[in-house]
Chain A
Amino acid sequence: MSQQGYVTAPPYSQSQPRMGGFSAGFGPPNSSLHYGHYGDPNSSHAAAPQPGLSKSTVPLGSSAPLGPLPPATHQVSQNNFQSGPSAAGQQPHRFQSPLPPNNTGPSYPPGSHQSQPASPNTVSTSCTTQLANQLNSMQINSYGPGAIQSSHTSGHPQQLPLTQHQMTLQPGPQIPPPANNFSGLCAQSSLPSIARQDGIPGSGLPNPNLQQLPGQTPGPGYHPQQANYGPQMAGSQLSYPGAFPGGPAQLSGPPQKKLDPDSIPSPIQVIENDKASRGGQMYATNTRGQVPPLVTTDCLIQDQGHASPRYIRCTTYCFPSSSDMAKQARIPLAAVIQPFAIVPQNETPLYVVNHGETGPIRCNRCKAYMCPFMQFIEGGRRYQCGFCNCINEVPPFFFQHLDHIGRRVDHYERPELSLGSYEYVATLDYCRNNKPPNPPAYIFMIDVSYRNINSGLVKLICDELKTLLDKLPREEQEESSAIRVGFVTYNKVLHFFNVKSNLAQPQMMVVSDVGEVFVPLLDGFLVNFQESRSVVNNLLDQIPEMFADTNESETIFAPVIQAGMEALKAAECAGKLFIFHSSLPTAEAPGKLRNRDDKKLLNTDKEKTLFQPQVNSYESLARDCVANGCCVNLFLFPNQYVDIASLGLVTMYTGGTLYKYNNFQLNSDSPQFLTDLRRDIEKKTAFDAIMRVRTSTGFRATDFFGAIYMNNTTDVEMAAVDCDKAVTVEFKHDDKLNEDSGALIQCAVLYTSVSGQRRLRIHNIGLNCSTQLADVYKTCETDALINFFAKSAFKAILSQPLKVVREILVSQTAHMLACYRKNCASPSAVSQLILPDAMKVLPVYMNCLLKSTVLTGRPEIPTDERAYHRQLVMSMGVADTQLFFYPQLLPLHNLDLKSDTVPAAVRCSEERLSEGGAFILANGLSMFLWLGVSTPPELIQGLFNVPSFAHISAEATLLPDLANPYSKKIKSIVERIQSQKPYTMKLMIVKQREQPEMLFRQFLVEDKSIHGGASYVDFLCCVHKEICQLLN
């Protein structure tokens, strides 16, 4: 990839003439990328007259231009495709059969020019074709046909085409009519005829694919209810019908086939480049509007007047100066603020400024806090606010003379004058009821219904708590934590525990009035663990026994939160609830829920209701919690639908974290759960926080996304905010922005620290303004953009149909790129796809977002899973979203055992896998260790201590601790991946061609998704088509 901004320079000039695909210019060396105009319909049509004819009979156009390959050719390219057996215990067979290249999106209107791969082309052994084929075949994501498993094995690939051909002939007509407007179905139904016409076997894979799927047991994380993989499981489709206006400006088949995956912008390349250029260096935030290194790049950040990118990342570091410009560019102006982000050991922690009684110095008019943007004038007697330009008197105690450049003499002595981020000690005016806050409290609320007892979970939690409670967060300088703890268990009723230190044994108080729950005790509920250690330990020992013979299966939920909140309220402190819950709360009580999961709602206007809480009471409960500084952390252990959209709502609004462990098994899931729990308890957290984002004149913060609650339009309330929570703030223009003064942002968070101190944390960042769109595009940050897009889309699905949201995302992408093309890029052929350098991976990321489970309404995806992901993403920071949407895929088979570096990632595409390799894939929530069938035995031996591939047990969730370099190295890699991630990833071992691979494949985000997401290439085409249309 050219660093000058050429995303791709397709090296296949030799194929151009034939394919008519790429025009001569692979991008002149300006800051844009030129794709060959592989989408020229005319030429492609001309190039493929034969199929074109046949295609014209196809009603809805086809996404399946079937490019049959000669068996021989195919075999050559096949190695990469064999990705595992179709079903566990069955003979592996090749499901990546010689697939015909299956090109772009399905929703081409009827009669559109579908350029079909001309037989001659495909027959040719041109490597381009092969690659394209590979690329395209990946999209199908299909597993081999179940029905023909017996008839072909991996040993006889040659037979495959034939059998497939037979298959396609027969089941073809049986495909039910499309259930929705995914035109992929239509495309499929046309497959047989095409295949026959071409006379080449090996087409029509999607059909067998369908039959195969039902036999697949869903992988972990998916409920059995999704077993009904219907025939709708189209293999090949783009599900953004709205994004395709139809018309002529499409990308056509033949040129596309030549598209080399390596030629399109690679996120990995971008990341690696940034690492290479900026990694390991020091980045000083001394310049306004400076674009920081990518989130994936490790570097040392020095605060020199602007907040570190760890705290604030912006979508662009140069705002367009007028709103017209902003509208034109359609680049969202947003900042992702992670106010309590962890900084590495080698970076300076925030200084604390204490002005004593006076409290922080603030602008009289806009109340902005003293910061480097304040301009001192009149010899230092006054200062002008950088945000509202108001001129304020300098308080006498703060007065200092100015030096020759008008800077205060004590500039470098005061953090609030020289640093982007610092803290103030707040005065009583900033406290609730003007009283100094009490130290926060943690309340552990354990569901002790039959299931949790039976699964051993309760015992696990209780045992773990005994050790964990010693690790409650504390201020650095303090010896022990000031946080008090309390315990509640519940099933249909609530049990409070009195664990006062002077008691001989704990006292249990049952509150069965769940309709109007209250806290039955005042003294002894919240205790200091150090003081009450013996009573608490006694209690934790007893809880599992106490309920050992319970047969209560109904649970309550809202009253539990209510109780916790009331307890904190009574104790007049903020705090966190840790709720360990496992089932849908069906007991008669407020917040009772019913199972409302209805697959029929998918892709209808009512789909949004699945993401909304079922009953209103949760919303008001959340409001009360926020008002009382009660943060709710929810650990869910469901084995069926539990309505996360409702249960998680309070967690979401109160800045809590939601953890979910499907089908919790004590053996396999407890390490993951315990690590999460430990991390969450130890986490640095700010309580009872309220955040305010102030901006300089001309623009203002309009929208906030995150685990927050807003009572009005400006105050962001968070019952608690921890190091992983980020708030994404969108800005809009009010007026013209001045290029000289730039755009200044100050984010102030007022919070109570773990020791009960009231503090203010201030982050300041200055951005540039420009009248040149090019400047805006140049300073864009794709990772932040995707964070913004994800959050805004995930918020929008509450009110808009999914389809509309997806359309908006696609069109916005197209608009941004089209605007660049129109205004910034040097003139070139319309058919060229030109991407701004800073945004060259935007399409692939955007595609990942579009095919995320939340935005794909597929019946196979459990509703809870979608709600869960939605909720997680809403509070994620940039680094987390980056990893979440574009997982990290690390090859392990060619490790350098000597060095301690993590191997360079490869692109998330099936073709990057190899039979002889082992890979780790991680997205922040799950981690997979994929093992190719011919993984080197020494690697297997080293990792698992078993002699061969066949001996590996896929059940393991941990790698054994072995004293050999492989094991050590890979374990250290796993640790490295895991470090600093908010959620513990459960390691799943996936053997190639075994059934769990299906799940694994969903994370190969550049490929066509099994759930109907487009492949990277397809999406690129689709966007390109949109752009072309916009430009015309």
Chain B
Amino acid sequence: MATYLEFIQQNEERDGVRFSWNVWPSSRLEATRMVVPLACLLTPLRERPDLPPVQYEPVLCSRPTCKAVLNPLCQVDYRAKLWACNFCFQRNQFPPAYAGISEVNQPAELMPQFSTIEYIVQRGPQTPLIFLYVVDTCLEEEDLQALKESLQMSLSLLPADALVGLITFGRMIQVHELSCEGISKSYVFRGTKDLTAKQIQDMLGLSRPAVPIQQGRPLQAPEQPVISSRFLQPVHKIDMNLTDLLGELQRDPWPVTQGKRPLRSTGVALSIAVGLLEGTFPNTGARIMLFTGGPPTQGPGMVVGDELKTPIRSWHDIEKDNARFMKKATKHYETLANRTATNGHCIDIYACALDQTGLLEMKCCANLTGGHMVMGDSFNTSLFKQTFQRVFNKGLNGEFRMAFGANLEVKTSRELKIAGAIGPCVSLNVKGPCVSENELGIGGTSQWKICGLDPCTTLAIYFEVVNQHNAPIPQGGRGAVQFVTQYQHSSTQKRIRVTTIARNWADAQSQLQHIEAAFDQEAAAVLMARLGVYRAESEEGPDVLRWLDRQLIRLCQKFGQYNKDDPNSFRLSESFSLYPQFMFHLRRSPFLQVFNNSPDESSYYRHHFARQDLTQSLIMIQPILYAYSFHGPPEPVLLDSSSILPDRILLMDTFFQIVIYLGETIAQWQKAGYQDMPEYENFKHLLQAPLDDAQEILQTRFPMPRYVHTEHGGSQARFLLSKVNPSQTHNNLYAWGQVSNGRATCIWEYCKMYIQIIVCIVAVLFYLIVFGLRLGAGCICPALLI
């Protein structure tokens, strides 16, 4: 099976595609019996340093309903200069430029190694990237200061010709004009009044006056940049100005009385930002970056009232239908998100507060537009600072790791249809012959818009085999799928990336073992997880879990080998062996479990789960646990409580957190200061090893994970304890005298564990009380995981 693993890996590296099944069941009926749908994880912009883009237009199939791109799978008649589309079998003439084509002189797109190819095309004027900062000023002084510094720093990271804009908000919203000398100028809006895009543009003076009056001067085009340039200016021009402006930014001056939240008009601010870009730069790459330090408390999109005594909604409130503003707010942000998506802009949300900030309501802004969502405790943390800095990271070839306004089109050969996609995209509602009626995820279309994406952005695309059982596919027939992604590169070029893949068909009855062997359990786990999470957004938690369980049971039933009524006889082949484990951890994951998570946290976790690539997604589903000890080199160990040993250092990566846990003995040694003694240098190295590894992860991860360094018995050990499979818990530890898993533990240890738990609970209660008083919010704070 190593071959399949290699094949899968190779395919992923080349095309950024991973299918749940790499050999496809040839009939609809069989496909449905496979339980896990035929689907793939597509990373459209997977970094390919070895893939030089070609500088011409792709050749398209001439059939209007097809328009597939010429690819290595096409049959080419070099003499007649014809090619046959492998999707619709239309025979097409090569364009004149291809006159010199021959077997030995093939264009790149016909070479098998270019199953993924990128075209640079010239379409329309190139507009620089746009970054519109939307900054909350209702922050604590030091938070604001930190945020200001981050923003000022970010100016140096932007491309010099990028346009930047600044909107600040608190009780009112200020749209800053950036080109002013001698006076800082801003347009102010009331935070309570919802404005239509037209009103906003009128008030900002963006709508051109009725020009028909001045006849005979169709000089519109040159005017446009002039008008919009007041609020969006090239960085290199207003660098100093904006730095000063940010420097002078004050906290929202309106007084906040005792027992009140500051009035924060996030809803209108966002609406103005969207309206501003909508009016000035539709369909060009732009990021609206929202920095907020608390929930919206007034106007459209408000999430909670300004009375501190009424806490922000919790899952409990939502279940009891007690969240007053949720529906309205969600609707407001949804409308905004859809508008933004239509214009091809994306919205990032950077929410840093101890309490919730309304991510639940605002999530669609980031989700539908492919923006980032970052949640932290304060802007004055390295978590935020580094994460924000990482937004402007550059890739291998020195280009920004961001792309805009992508349009992903999927074409399938006729045995397949597209059921839907799950990821940071919106449907473009393009119906076609290859669109299935059964929807999985965002369906009913063959095209999606991804307004903001980076090389990691991954979509799950679900297919449906429509070939009827009685219409067998000729031997050796292959099913093909083509992904065409048109996008705006960070260099502002328009590019088209085309990936064409093909897989063999197999008859499930006669060739089940082939299909079985070609199962990609990792991809399948992530694909199923995405479906589960997608469902969880709209369905009750238990239903989703039940559905997942049923799917797992059916899969085991189909592919497991067992003797009836003999549980011990159950065997799964190697290609399925890990799948149940993934499902187990998925059930426990914060993506499906809301207990102990605030609605905001759930939204945050789900947001990231729906866009990360396979590896990261797997980490999210089943955190990785590494053990460091003197017994051997660092090794991955089971995510199980049995892995927690006194003489081990554990490093757990849950994607959102990185926990370094010192076992009991190690911790004692460390306290005793052995690492400082020259003779115990090896201990020093042991301590250092996980730190270095953690650093490595921290360096690359976006968003920056929460870094926890703890030890046996430490309060933050809960991060680890909550994740591991509780094969040893206080429950079975409790059972006096009973020894589980063959590990002998003295009663004293149980007692200690017991005491520790008690202490922990007391600490939690204290924490709750303090927070409850301070925030007036009954939210269970993110750190509470007992």
Residues in chain A within 8 A of chain B (CB atoms):
493, 495-496, 503-513, 516, 518, 520-524, 538-539, 542, 546
Contact = CB atoms under 8 A, between A and B. Distances in A.
A495 to B, nearest CB: 8
A513 B203 contact: yes
B190 A542 contact: no
Nearest to A494: B188
Given A493-B203, A513-B193, A516-B190, A508 B185 contact: yes
Across the A-B interface, give the 9 residue pairs with the lowest CB-CB distance, nearest first: A512-B203, A520-B188, A508-B185, A510-B187, A523-B253, A509-B188, A507-B184, A522-B253, A511-B188
Nearest to B180: A508
Given A507-B186, A539-B183, A542-B182, A512 B205 contact: yes
A506 B183 CA distance: 5
A542 B183 contact: yes
B172 A520 contact: yes
A1018 B183 CA distance: 65
A510 B188 contact: yes
A404 B144 CA distance: 78
Interface string B609-620: 000000000000
Contacts of B204: 512
Contacts of A508: 180, 183-186
A462 B174 CA distance: 26
Given A493-B203, A522-B254, A523-B253, A510 B186 contact: yes
B202 interface: yes
Contacts of A539: 183
B184 A505 contact: yes
Contacts of B172: 518, 520
Nearest to A570: B254
Q: How large is the interface on B (under 10, 10 to 19, 20 to 34, 35 or more residues)?
A: 20 to 34
Nearest to A522: B253
B189 interface: yes
Contacts of A505: 182-184
A517 to B, nearest CB: 9
B696 interface: no
A496 B172 CA distance: 14
A557 to B, nearest CB: 18
12 contacts: A505-B183, A506-B183, A508-B185, A509-B185, A510-B185, A513-B190, A513-B193, A513-B195, A520-B172, A521-B253, A524-B253, A538-B183
Contacts of A504: 248
Contacts of B203: 493, 512-513
Contacts of A512: 187, 189, 202-205
Contacts of A546: 183
A508 B180 CA distance: 10
Interface string B178-212: 00101111111110010100000011110000000
Contacts of B255: 522
Nearest to A512: B203
Interface string B204-234: 1100000000000000000000000000000
Contacts of A506: 183-184
Nearest to A508: B185
A320 B251 CA distance: 68
Contacts of B177: 510
B298 to A, nearest CB: 13
A903 B190 CA distance: 62
Most buried by A among B174, B186, B253: B186
Given A493-B203, A508-B180, A510-B187, 17 more contacts: A493-B205, A495-B185, A505-B183, A508-B183, A508-B184, A510-B177, A511-B188, A512-B187, A512-B203, A512-B204, A513-B193, A516-B193, A520-B174, A521-B253, A522-B254, A538-B182, A542-B182
Nearest to B187: A510
A509 B253 contact: no
Contacts of A511: 187-189
A516 B189 CA distance: 10
Contacts of A496: 188
A256 B190 CA distance: 72
A563 B489 CA distance: 46
Nearest to A518: B190
A496 B253 CA distance: 15
A506 B177 CA distance: 14
A521 B254 CA distance: 8
B226 to A, nearest CB: 12
Interface in B142-195: 172, 174, 177, 180, 182-190, 193, 195
Nearest to B245: A507
Contacts of B189: 511-513
A38 B188 CA distance: 75
Contacts of A523: 253
A39 B293 CA distance: 92
Nearest to A521: B253
A493 B188 CA distance: 11
Interface in B60-91: none
A512 B203 CA distance: 5
B269 to A, nearest CB: 14
A92 to B, nearest CB: 49
A987 to B, nearest CB: 39
Contacts of A520: 172, 174, 188
A608 to B, nearest CB: 37
Contacts of A509: 174, 185-188
Given A520-B172, A522-B254, A507 B183 contact: yes
Contacts of B248: 503-504
A522 B188 CA distance: 13
B177 to A, nearest CB: 8
A518 to B, nearest CB: 5
A344 B752 CA distance: 95
Contacts of B253: 521-524
Contacts of A542: 182-183
B250 to A, nearest CB: 8
Nearest to A497: B183
Contacts of B180: 508
Contacts of B202: 512
Contacts of B186: 507-510
Contacts of A513: 189-190, 193, 195, 203
Interface in B716-733: none
Contacts of A495: 185
Most buried by B among A495, A496, A506, A510: A510
A715 B202 CA distance: 44
A987 B188 CA distance: 45
A521 B184 CA distance: 14
A617 B450 CA distance: 49
Nearest to B203: A512
Most buried by A among B186, B187, B188: B188
Contacts of B183: 505-508, 538-539, 542, 546
A505 B182 CA distance: 6
A520 B189 CA distance: 8
A542 B188 CA distance: 20
A542 B184 CA distance: 11
A653 to B, nearest CB: 27
B193 A507 contact: no
B560 to A, nearest CB: 66
Nearest to A511: B188
A73 B563 CA distance: 149
A403 B255 CA distance: 59
A511 B188 CA distance: 5
A501 to B, nearest CB: 14
A324 B204 CA distance: 67
A514 to B, nearest CB: 9
A509 B177 CA distance: 10
B329 to A, nearest CB: 22
Contacts of B254: 522
Contacts of B185: 495, 507-510
A836 B255 CA distance: 67
A539 B185 CA distance: 12
B146 to A, nearest CB: 22
